[in-house]
Structure 1
Amino acid sequence: MNKVHKPKKVLMQGPIDPQMVATSLVNHQSKTNIGAHALFLGQIRADQKDNGVVTGIEYSAYEAMAEEAFHRIREEAFTRYDLTCMHLYHSLGVVPVGQISLFVFVSSAHRRASLEAVDFLVERIKQDVPIFGKELIGATGDYIWKENN
């Protein structure tokens, strides 16, 4: 029988600090049953749009529903893959170009489980979590609702 994990807060205001990524790695060095880590960092691009260049994305969410969806996806990943641990974080609010808005970090005894789990998690997050992004456009102050792709 699989262990049920306590829900963890995933949503956080503003960009994800790269120091948080580094600290996550450092905190796992003492866990000697881990043989592989896989990470995904979603970074904001300066895409060219018809009315200008994207300068950032403003994320909003139905927070309770989003946190619940993250927990379901997290539990499903633990059931599907032989993982040691997992950390998921997604930004709310404005995230400027070049900054990180999604951090997915999984650890396992062997690489295949962690690599497959990261791919599964990112796809399911994009598909199932009610988070919405408005791409902010340069000097015009316009925005375009972002499609998950």
Structure 2
Amino acid sequence: MFKITYEPIAVNELIEHVLHNNVGAIQTFIGTVREMTHGKQTLRLEYHAYESMAVKMLERIGKEIEGKWPGTTVAITHRLGTLAIQEIAVVIAVSSPHRQASHEATSYAIERIKEVVPIWKKEYWADGSFWVGDQLEQNAYHEKEGHHG
């Protein structure tokens, strides 16, 4: 189960997907929208994606995990659109016969999502500034548009 959605994520649905008779551990990672980032107050986040490619890349990450940690089952859902503080942006559920594999695989999954899945985050801060991708992109935007700050 690898999904991109605009709806709130049902965590239990992912857990049910990875639960089966040979599971000794299920680890979940739940990424939420936090209020403070780099000392700035966040008002909201917007997630955008190349949706069909994002799903294919999530599936690829699942296959990578199942290859590296035999016996694991993976489910990943990432939310798109505008998210408020405390809303869930991403859920990863990994089951395995033993806890260490599910723990390692969950950490691997979130890092790979950041590396290869075409999902972009725009973070809006209370001071009127925003962040897209990395600081260089924000600076390039300000220079291009004649904005400063």
- Normalising by the smaller structure, the TM-score range is 0.7 to 0.9
1:74 CA displacement: 1.1
Alpha carbon RMSD of aligned pairs, Å?
2.3
2:25 aligns with 36
- Give the share of equivalent positions with the same residue, in percent: 31
Equivalents in 1 of 2:106, 2:44: separation in Å?
24
The structure with more helix, counted as a fraction of residues: 2
Q: Which runs of 4+ in 1 moved over 3 A?
A: 22-29
Question: In the alignment, is residue 137 of structure 1 matched against residue 125 of structure 2?
Answer: yes
Residues 48 and 104 (structure 1), Cα distance of their counterparts in 2 relative to 1, 3 Å cut: closer
TM-score, normalised on structure 2? 0.78
Equivalents in 2 of 1:54, 1:83: separation in Å?
39
Cα shift readout 1:91-129 (whole Å, capped 9, x = no counterpart): 100111111101000111111111111011111001111
* Match runs of 1:15-34 below 5 Å: 15-16=8-9, 20-25=10-15, 31-34=20-23
2:137 aligns with none
- Runs (5+) with no aligned partner, structure 1: 1-7
1:86 aligns with 74
Larger radius of gyration: 2
- Runs (5+) with no aligned partner, structure 2: 135-149
